[in-house]
A and B are shown apart, each in its own frame.
Chain A
């Protein structure tokens, strides 16, 4: 089955490495690429790295990006603009870990990009401590 792939963008290489490992346990069928940190090992995000990450997992089914903080969004949008083509790449407005978890589950079912984005964004309002 062709599945939507995911790209995780964080200021820290360790954060996205950890997220990828965690989600792989959950759903190994979904392709995940990551872009995190500056090339010198520092903290930051970079549009070129994000573009490369998209390239490695992109399929016609599409790709969803999850990001951590402010400038990760600027760089993710720039990476999409730079590709300048008709590729189906969307950014989810969601917490990177909880949203990523929901996204990998949804993508695992073979859902569309929009459904995967939606699932990730729902994680924003999901309570973590059950209310009775």
Chain B
């Protein structure tokens, strides 16, 4: 499909709805292997993002990503704030001033976001962080002819796979082997991010 700023806004509003719906679940996951604030952090960020959407309309996806980046950086907090915020910032540069994005261009922007997360957090695949969803997912789907159902399922499976991982980065790393057996909270919120993207593509594409 062709993504306008309004389509992207629709996606991110769905993401916000899902974060609110799963807020307690995300917080519970973080309670097990972190400090129990991931749901609260994400909810605070997306609530502020919705406020931004109420107040402002955006001419281009790039402009929208940039404004959302500033909100995430300022409001989410924790490790996930600078990570999601840096991703959005790089997505903005990748989207540039184009009025619309093709699926391929949107996936390219997400890949730039993925790289930003890797650089900011210095985590690799297998260390039980959101990188375990972002990296393999965007490796598998390079943007041409995306099967959005498969995309969505893959995001869910990648999230589930973090359960058996031993945390090496972030707060959960302090738990060492005791982190095994619990899904990584940042991977759970990332799965919602990608699943709502896929849902928007299916609904509007």
Within 8 A of A (CB), among B160-177: 170-171
Stretch at the interface among B6-14, B70-78, B91-99: B70-78
The listed residue (B74, B78, B170) touching A48 by CB distance below 8 A is B74
| Number of B positions contacting A (CB below 8 A) | 17
A5 interface contact, C-beta 8 A: no
A27–B170 Cα distance when bound, in Å, is 34
Q: Which residues in B have their C-beta under 8 angstroms from that of A75?
A: 81-82
Please give me the residue from chain A that is nearest to B121 by CB atom: A74
Q: Which residues in B have their C-beta under 8 angstroms from that of A77?
A: 82, 120
* Chain A interface category by residue count: 10 to 19
**A70 with B170: CB separation less than 8 A:** yes
Please give me the residue from chain B that is nearest to A74 by CB atom: B82
B79 interface contact, C-beta 8 A: yes
State how many angstroms separate the Cβ of B37 from the closest Cβ of chain A: 8
Main secondary structure of the interface of B (DSSP, over half): helix
Contact digits for A31-72, partner B, Cβ 8 Å, 1 yes 0 no: 000000010001111111000000000000000000001110
Please give me the residue from chain A that is nearest to B170 by CB atom: A70
The listed residue (A42, A69, A71) touching B82 by CB distance below 8 A is A71
**A71 with B78: CB separation less than 8 A:** yes
B39 interface contact, C-beta 8 A: no
The listed residue (A43, A46, A69, A82) touching B81 by CB distance below 8 A is A46
A43–B41 Cα distance when bound, in Å, is 11
A19 interface contact, C-beta 8 A: no
B115 interface contact, C-beta 8 A: no
A48–B69 Cα distance when bound, in Å, is 12
**B-binding residues in A (CB < 8 A):** 38, 42-48, 69-71, 74-75, 77-78, 82
